[in-house]
Amino acid sequence: MPKSSPNLNPPAPVAQQLPAPVFEDKKHLIKIFQGDCLDILAALPENTFDLIFADPPYFLSNNGITCHAGRMVSVNKGKWDVSRGAGANHEFNRAWLAACQRVLKPNGSIWVSGTSHVIHSVGFAMQQLDFKLLNDISWVKPNPPPNLSCRYFTHTTETIIWAQ
């Protein structure tokens, strides 16, 4: 009996009604929609975009502290940034990347920025979805927050993955 490989990719999104844009500039053909990206992307036609830029959650809101403008502040940004565990975080990355893949034109490309906490999951999800990885771009931050624990190096870079 031939072995069939299991389909590990997320199900295709179900089309929804696109909400009214929260901002529109008709002259420059710009529209901003606010909502869950999975809902918004599902409401857009496939093969639409030449380029997508995404800065997804880093899942760093863990009740820790960081330094902002010289002051010690909470790292908590909101529920959306709370880790649901490595497996669930990765499934989220796969789901929104698959939704982006559907709306990208065949010759379109995607840029995704992230720290080391999330970018490896993004890269792996792209490989699982058969994106072609074009480049890793290092975004060097001249003024990164200091590492208050002094037990490892400061996070002076983010990686941007450029893929097709």
Chain contacts with ligand SAM (rule: CB under 6 A): 36-37, 55-58, 80
Report which of 159, 37, 163 is spatially closest to residue 110, judged by C-alpha positions. 163
Is 132 or 137 the residue whose CB approaches ligand SAM more closely? 137
Query: What CA–CA distance (Å, rounded) separates 32 from 93?
Result: 21
Closest approach of ligand SAM to the CB of residue 17, in Å: 17
Minimum Å distance from CB 95 to ligand SAM? 9
Phi, psi of 133 (to 5 degrees): -80, 120
- What's the count of helices (H) and strands (E) in the chain, helices before strands? 3, 8
| In the complex, least distance from residue 75 CB atom to ligand SAM, rounded to whole angstroms | 12
For ligand SAM, give the closer residue by CB, 131 or 158: 158
Nearer to ligand SAM, 37 or 129 (CB): 37
Alpha-carbon gap, residue 2 to 143, rounded angstroms:
57
